[in-house]
Amino acid sequence: MFQNDVQAFAAATTAKFALLAGQNPEDQLKATVGDLLQAVGRELNFTIETVTEVKVAAVGRPDMGVSIKQLLVGYIELKAPGKGADPSTFKLKNQDRTIQ
């Protein structure tokens, strides 16, 4: 049941952020988000795979690439909890902003 997968995602993510090791918040999300996407695929009867730090010409390096049947279907850009994703708040030279 997908609700169990979401609960597992929440528990695993909470556990990662409970560690006081000075870790990069975005990096801690990659494994748990990948696991959640695989669970979504199982619910829909297909296999979802993810890779991290995908290089995309003229765009940058999204945190994750998502594939179904070995075909790249999209990208995910993660943000640290609490950071938000409003691009108007990003600084021009900040790594969060892509200049095209």
Could you list the mean pLDDT of each consecutive 10-residue stretch along the chain, which spans 100 residues? 91 87 83 94 94 84 92 90 76 52
Distance between CA atoms of 12 and 16, rounded to whole angstroms? Answer: 6
Structure confidence at residue 99 (pLDDT): 43
Domain boundaries, the chain: 2-89
Structure confidence at residue 3 (pLDDT): 92
pTM of the model: 0.78
What residues are paired with 75 via a beta bridge?
Answer: 65
